[in-house]
Amino acid sequence: MTPVEQVQTILNSITDDSLGGSANGVAYQDYPWHPFDAIPAAFRTTQRKLDIIKRVVRLKEKTVLDFGCANGAVTIGLALEGAKVYGVDVEPAQLGAGRIVARSLGVDVQFSTQASLAHCDAIIYLSVWKWTVRHQGRKVADAQLRRLSESCDVLLFDAGVGDCGTDLGVGLKVSEVPTLVLRATPMANIAKAGAFVDNNNIPRTIWKCLRQS
C-alpha cells in the first residue's frame, strides 16, 4: 500500500467523531502537501492556521505541543517549520494517520495519546476547549485550559466558537474569550493573533496568550 492508501485505510476505520475529530474516510484537517493533499478533509484550513501561528510564534528549534491535534496536519506543518513538535490527541487512529504522513514527509513528530511534557515553549490549543465543554462540562474544560497555560510561555487558543450560533450550544462569544482566559489561567496578556474563515463560513479567531504582560 502507498502511504496515501495507508492513511485512507486508517481514516476509513474511524467511525466516531463525537469528540470533534472526523470519521468515515475524511481527515479532520487537510494535509496540504502532495500527495496527501488528495485525501478528503472536513476542513481545508491547515495552511490558514499555520500562517497565523508562524506570524506570531518563533518556531525554529522551539518545543511545541499541539494539544488535540486530530490527524496531525497542523502538527506536521509546525515540524516542517523546524519546531520540535509533540502532537497529543485522545483518538489513537487519528494519530496513526499523522504518523504515516510525518514519516513520509521526513519530519520528526512525537504523536501520543498523553501529554508528558512538563513545560514547552508554546502550546497550540485549537478548537478543543469547546468539545471538552460539550463532553465533560465547563469545569473540566477550564481546568484543562489552566493546566495547559501553566505548562508553556505562549498559548495559541481558539475556543472553537463563532458568534453566529454554530458553537454546539457552548454559550460563549468570541468577545468573551479574553475574560475566560484571564479568569481561568495564569496568562496575563491576551491578544488576537489572527482570524480565518472555516469551511462553514464561520469567522474564527486565534488568540495569543502570554504569561507576562
Ligand X SMILES: C[S@@+](CC[C@H](N)C(=O)[O-])C[C@H]1O[C@@H](n2cnc3c(N)ncnc32)[C@H](O)[C@@H]1O
List of residues contacting ligand X (CB under 6 A) = 19-21, 28-29, 68-70, 74, 88-91, 94, 126-128, 131-132
In the bound complex, what is the minimum distance in angstroms from residue 83's beta carbon to ligand X? 15
100/102 Cα distance (integer angstroms): 6
167/148 Cα distance (integer angstroms): 22
In the bound complex, what is the minimum distance in angstroms from residue 178's beta carbon to ligand X? 20
By C-beta, is 8 or 144 nearer to ligand X?
144
By C-beta, is 57 or 126 nearer to ligand X?
126
By C-beta, is 22 or 104 nearer to ligand X?
22
By C-beta, is 4 or 128 nearer to ligand X?
128
Beta bridge mates, 84: 63
Q: 184-198 as b/e, with b when 16 or more CB fall inside 10 Å?
A: bbebeebeebbebeb
Residue 179 makes CB contacts below 8 A (sequence gap 6+) with none
In the bound complex, what is the minimum distance in angstroms from residue 177's beta carbon to ligand X? 15
| Rg, C-alpha atoms of the chain | 16
Neighbouring CB atoms inside 10 A of 4's CB total 18
Joined together, the cell numbers standing for residue 77 give 506543518
CA angle 141–144–145, rounded 5-degree value: 90
By C-beta, is 150 or 188 nearer to ligand X?
150
Name the residue whose CB lies closest to ligand X: 68
By C-beta, is 124 or 212 nearer to ligand X?
124
58/131 Cα distance (integer angstroms): 28
In the bound complex, what is the minimum distance in angstroms from residue 14's beta carbon to ligand X? 10
Alpha-carbon distance values, 53 to 5, 50, 167, 211 (Å): 30, 5, 23, 17
In the bound complex, what is the minimum distance in angstroms from residue 115's beta carbon to ligand X? 8
In the bound complex, what is the minimum distance in angstroms from residue 31's beta carbon to ligand X? 11
